[in-house]
A and B are shown apart, each in its own frame.
Chain A
Amino acid sequence: MSADATIAAQPTKRARARSSNEPDGRHGEGFGRYWVLALLVVAALLTLFPFFLAAINAIKTPTDYGANGPVALPRSFDLSALFAFWTGVEFGRKLWNSVLISGCVAFFGVALSLLNAYALGIGKVKGRNLILIVLMLGIMVPQESLVYPIYYLAKSVGLYDTRLSVIIVFTVLQSAFGTYMLSAVLTQFPREIIDAAEIDGASRLQVLWHVVIPVLRPTLTVLGTFFFIWTWNEFLLPLVLLISNDNQNVSVAMGTLHGQHVSDPTTTAAAALLGIVPTVIFFLVFQRTLMRGVTVGAVK
């Protein structure tokens, strides 16, 4: 049930040991087992089919698309749809906005979660359970019930249509989950280490910096990775807060597409492909972290 156990322990290899002492084709399974595999492979390919479609159609000429349809393999090679979309919506700019917003949220969100969790988990501040319950409610509250006041407040303090507004909002929203998770981890932090440091005369800040953070670093990385991708994928609040072309991120640019810049199917495919690529790259790089992180998130 504890989050730290899940984070610390790599997926066990135990399960794999089983395969070695399993004689092939026992129980008279014969070819039967290949059927199961084949079925699953087909299902997986169907799941990935939309990705494949976007890829093959983004590099076709409109004539090729018109003549042979969306399912045919490309007989032409043409990157102009990709370039057209890229320049049409200033995609480079949207990408940078997404990176900037998600990166800042990942960093500040982890920092804020850590400060909260340090007070709650190590400091065992009075009323910590109440604080955690309030935070949990904060997570459960639909963003819809915050969106108008946030929009209004952002306008009244001059932060409307700035990337900073989105960074602030998501730093706080993500840190609710982060606090919850990290304080569970820190409650079980070996007390002796902290006591030893305190006896050596370390201040609380020094304990946090020199003792807690080094031990927690892997967990913090997982958390940051997750904040990054969650923020990248957020839609409603960025849609409301980021109006101008210069401040929009990838999500908002995609969501408001609705035929605005898209005149033809190959450009739509190109748009989808450009939206997919960053996420897939991120996925390939951080696959292990992400898979572990999903579990961490689910433990609670």
Chain B
Amino acid sequence: MASTVDRPSGRAGLNLGYLPYLLPGAIGFFVVVLIPFLMNIAVSFTRWKGIGVPKFIGLENYLKLFQDKTFWAAFEHSVACVIAMALIPTALGLFLGAVLFDYIGPRFGPRASSGLRAAFYLPQILPVAVAGVLWGWILSPIGVLNTILDGLGLHALSQNWLGDPATALLAVMFVMVWLQLGYALVVFMAGLARVDPALYEAAELDGAPWLSRFRHITIPMLKPEIFVVGLTTTIAALKVFAPVYVLTSGGPDNATTVPSYFAYYHFFTTNRVGYGAAITTVQTLITIVLGLVFLRVQRKQTEGAN
């Protein structure tokens, strides 16, 4: 690797010959990402209904936004999404991955552990819209969950899970965990495959119980994977849209609204496009800042390790 990196950069002139290969990608990036991105920022400083000429109003949208209770509620729900899509799946996936890898695998064979892994992974590949239809049906007032609860004699517990502000967010969070767990699990199990088994064997011979092996071998060895899963799922949680759209449409009473849905609502329902653009601009800023913080932390960690 070093030999290619160290190649004399005196060949810069030659490298220009590669520029045509970048052209299609550059055009695409400009048209689909960069121009829309800049347009969106520009629109956020205007009052615009999507037709006619946008009227420049400076920071008015942003000032209004910070006084908008729904906006703050949406961000609180974003935190809930981070818990449901990043925190819980990462923690649970780590635990399950370790159990499958160094307990189930050795004792019951690789087929048992990879079969279980596949079962936990399956929801992850489902289109979210399909998962929404499925869970909307299960959680509906006359749905499967309530039928089961009634069948168990727990009538008191059955309720309108997605329609009651008290339970809607929890129900959506539950579906998110169900969707997300498999991703973390698969990544962690793949990461464990590169850990030297001798490490575990030595620890086992020394009589280290499972939990301390988990703490002192599994978690430190999986640090890069934990970091990546944490980062990608957190970013995904901040821009979550489909589960909310399909399950609750942000309701009841905005109990489950998230920034993406809130922006979508203003773009396409109220036609307050400038306001929607302000929402997504703030959301983008938060996502990018968080991403950069994550990357910085990672860089520090890897530097510290060397």
Supposing A14-B197, A53-B138, A236-B260 touch, asked if A255 and B29 sit within 8 A by C-beta, the answer is: no
> B147–A71 contact, CB under 8 A?
yes
Chain A residues positioned under 8 Å from B127 (CB to CB): 232-233, 235, 250-251, 254, 275, 279
Chain A residues positioned under 8 Å from B287 (CB to CB): 140-142
Chain A residues positioned under 8 Å from B263 (CB to CB): 144
> A235–B129 contact, CB under 8 A?
yes
> A176–B33 contact, CB under 8 A?
yes
Q: Measured between C-beta atoms, what is the minimum distance from B205 to chain A in Å?
A: 11
Supposing A145-B37, A149-B39 touch, asked if A272 and B134 sit within 8 A by C-beta, the answer is: yes
B105, B126, B190: the one contacting A19 at CB < 8 Å is B105
Supposing A123-B18, A268-B137 touch, asked if A22 and B107 sit within 8 A by C-beta, the answer is: yes
- Cα distance A232–B130 when bound, in Å? 11
> A173–B19 contact, CB under 8 A?
no
A40, A148, A275: the one contacting B99 at CB < 8 Å is A40
A19, A116, A124, A282: the one contacting B15 at CB < 8 Å is A124
Q: Does B61 contact A (CB under 8 A)?
A: no
Chain B interface residue count, Cβ-Cβ cutoff 8 angstroms:
111
Give a binary string over B131-174; 1 marks a CB under 8 Å from any A CB, 0 the rest: 01111111000111001100100000000000000000000000
> B235–A140 contact, CB under 8 A?
yes
Q: Measured between C-beta atoms, what is the minimum distance from B220 to chain A in Å?
A: 16
- Cα distance A41–B44 when bound, in Å? 51
Chain A residues positioned under 8 Å from B19 (CB to CB): 119, 125
Q: Does A147 contact B (CB under 8 A)?
A: yes
Q: Residue of B at shortest CB range from A277?
A: B130
> B129–A138 contact, CB under 8 A?
no
Chain B residues positioned under 8 Å from A79 (CB to CB): none
Residues from 108 to 139 in A contacting B, C-beta threshold 8 Å: 112-113, 115-116, 118-120, 122-126, 131, 134-135, 137-138
> B21–A123 contact, CB under 8 A?
yes
> A11–B193 contact, CB under 8 A?
yes
A1, A45, A140, A240: the one contacting B288 at CB < 8 Å is A140
Give a binary string over A152-173; 1 marks a CB under 8 Å from any B CB, 0 the rest: 1100000000000000110111
> B260–A142 contact, CB under 8 A?
yes
- Cα distance A188–B294 when bound, in Å? 26
Give a binary string over A173-189; 1 marks a CB under 8 Å from any B CB, 0 the rest: 10110010000000111
Residues from 231 to 265 in A contacting B, C-beta threshold 8 Å: 232-233, 235-236, 239-240, 250-252, 254-255, 257-258, 265
> A18–B151 contact, CB under 8 A?
no
Supposing A172-B31, A236-B242, A298-B225 touch, asked if A254 and B133 sit within 8 A by C-beta, the answer is: yes
> A272–B137 contact, CB under 8 A?
yes
- Cα distance A8–B208 when bound, in Å? 34
Supposing A271-B133, A283-B125 touch, asked if A173 and B119 sit within 8 A by C-beta, the answer is: no
> A291–B33 contact, CB under 8 A?
no
- Cα distance A71–B137 when bound, in Å? 13
Q: Measured between C-beta atoms, what is the minimum distance from B94 to chain A in Å?
A: 13
> A146–B232 contact, CB under 8 A?
no
- Cα distance A39–B259 when bound, in Å? 38
Q: Does B112 contact A (CB under 8 A)?
A: yes
Supposing A71-B147, A138-B33, A255-B132 touch, asked if A47 and B267 sit within 8 A by C-beta, the answer is: no
Supposing A36-B103, A251-B127 touch, asked if A240 and B268 sit within 8 A by C-beta, the answer is: yes
> B246–A44 contact, CB under 8 A?
no
B33, B126, B190: the one contacting A11 at CB < 8 Å is B190
- Cα distance A294–B232 when bound, in Å? 12
Q: Residue of A at shortest CB range from B200?
A: A18
Chain A residues positioned under 8 Å from B232 (CB to CB): 297-298
Q: Measured between C-beta atoms, what is the minimum distance from A142 to chain B in Å?
A: 4
Supposing A141-B33, A146-B36, A254-B130 touch, asked if A112 and B25 sit within 8 A by C-beta, the answer is: yes
Q: Does A87 contact B (CB under 8 A)?
A: no
Q: Does B52 contact A (CB under 8 A)?
A: no
Residues from 166 to 209 in B contacting A, C-beta threshold 8 Å: 178, 181, 183, 186-187, 190-194, 197, 200-201
Q: Measured between C-beta atoms, what is the minimum distance from B135 to chain A in Å?
A: 7
Q: Residue of B at shortest CB range from A192?
A: B3
Chain A residues positioned under 8 Å from B123 (CB to CB): 47, 50
Stretch at the interface among B62-70, B79-87, B272-280: B272-280
> B21–A119 contact, CB under 8 A?
yes
Supposing A19-B107, A44-B116 touch, asked if A150 and B36 sit within 8 A by C-beta, the answer is: yes
Q: Measured between C-beta atoms, what is the minimum distance from B110 to chain A in Å?
A: 5
Q: Does B32 contact A (CB under 8 A)?
A: yes
Q: Does B17 contact A (CB under 8 A)?
A: yes
Q: Does B217 contact A (CB under 8 A)?
A: no
22 A-B contacts (beta carbon < 8 Å): A11-B190, A19-B109, A33-B103, A47-B120, A48-B119, A48-B122, A53-B134, A138-B33, A138-B34, A144-B239, A144-B241, A144-B280, A146-B32, A148-B36, A149-B36, A235-B245, A258-B249, A275-B129, A275-B133, A279-B127, A291-B117, A292-B190
Q: Which 4 A-B pairs have the closest CB atoms?
A: A123-B18, A275-B130, A149-B36, A255-B129
Contacts A268-B133, A287-B118 known; 15 new A-B pairs at CB < 8 A: A33-B103, A40-B104, A47-B119, A71-B151, A115-B25, A119-B18, A144-B280, A150-B32, A176-B33, A233-B125, A233-B128, A255-B132, A279-B127, A290-B125, A294-B190
